[in-house]
Amino acid sequence: MFSLAGRNAIVTGAASGIGLAAARALAANGARVAIWDLNEAGAQAAAAALKAEGHSAIAARVDVSRRADVDAALAQLHQAFGKAGILVNNAGITLFRDFMEMTEEAWDQVMNVNLKSMLVCTQAVLPDMLEAGWGRVINVSSSSAQTGSARMSAYAASKGGVIAFTKALAQEFAAKGITVNNVPPGFVDTPMLRASEIGKVVDQVAAASPMKRAGRPEDMAAAIAFLASDEAGYITGHTLSVNGGRYSN
């Protein structure tokens, strides 16, 4: 357990999967949590569940690629809890498609959600962190960016951009008390994975992995909670691979 008491955290894409597990982990460690998701009903349900457990949580419908949505949700956080100190950029979409069948529209959609959101959300929240002289930005990338993945060129490229973005931002803000790190999940059993074209073979793929099981959202959440803590204050620009041995760096 890490004490995040007094910290206000934002988790994007937190209505389910890794984002929801991260919101729960941050709340369990004492943070007040804002759940941002395009799925408004899911976000509200997640916040209600956290509040029922005695935690402080709010929810907002947010398109993370739209600055107006982000600014409105940030204003809600300011009114409810105060300034933001932790940002978990988790929202993302996946896409399986042969490269020669990739359209510009599909490519742009993946880039907007997975990569443009890094600019939009982080740029909006950083003034709070700069004012406080303390901040944690944790980006969820992907092991597909580390290893490559057939039929996932847009997704892998967007997540590779997340890793590079993390390193660049870490250098720029290291002296300001703000750390920027990323967690690239491996093969994690989430609703998004189950809904994808490999959803029917999750168990078979997991059985062939080094640990013989799929990752759990809670595995990712534990790493995110650590990177959000004071104990991780001397770690920045780091890629903390949580993948059960799928990729070693």
d(CA 146, CA 6): 35
Of residues 203 and 235, which shows the higher confidence score?
Answer: 235
Instruction: Indicate whether 246 belongs to any domain.
Output: no
Residue-wise pLDDT tens digits, 10-64: 999 999 999 999 999 999 999 999 999 999 999 999 999 999 999 999 999 999 9
Report the CATH number at residue 14: 3.40.50.720
Assigned token pair, 108: 């742009």
Task: Scan for tokens 């703000």, then name that residue.
Answer: 178
| pTM (2 d.p.) | 0.95
Instruction: Indicate whether 238 belongs to any domain.
Output: no
Residue-wise pLDDT tens digits, 71-82: 999 999 999 999
Instruction: Indicate whether 54 belongs to any domain.
Output: yes
Q: Is 155 a catalytic residue?
A: yes
Residue-wise pLDDT tens digits, 98-149: 999 999 999 999 999 999 999 999 999 999 999 999 999 999 999 889 999 8
Query: Which residue intervals of the chain are DSSP H helices?
Result: 17-28, 40-52, 67-80, 104-111, 117-132, 143-147, 153-173, 191-195, 202-207, 217-227
Instruction: Indicate whether 225 belongs to any domain.
Output: yes
The percentage of the chain sitting over the pLDDT mark of 90, rounded to a whole number, equals: 82
Q: What's the confidence (pLDDT) of residue 129?
A: 99
pLDDT band at residue 209 under the 50/70/90 scheme: confident
SS3 54: coil
Q: How are strands ordered across the β-sheet holding 86-89? A: 57-61, 32-37, 8-12, 86-89, 135-140, 178-183
**Of 155, 165, 187, 226, catalytic:** 155
Instruction: Indicate whether 198 belongs to any domain.
Output: yes
- Please check the confidence at residue 199 and state whether its pLDDT lies above 70: no
pLDDT band at residue 203 under the 50/70/90 scheme: confident
Question: How many independent structural domains does the chain possess?
Answer: 1
Instruction: Indicate whether 165 belongs to any domain.
Output: yes
pLDDT band at residue 202 under the 50/70/90 scheme: low
Instruction: Indicate whether 242 belongs to any domain.
Output: no
Residue-wise pLDDT tens digits, 153-166: 999 999 999 999 99
Q: What's the confidence (pLDDT) of residue 180?
A: 99
- Please check the confidence at residue 196 and state whether its pLDDT lies above 80: no
pLDDT (mean) for 229-249? 90
The range of the structural domain enclosing residue 116 comes to: 8-232
Instruction: Indicate whether 248 belongs to any domain.
Output: no
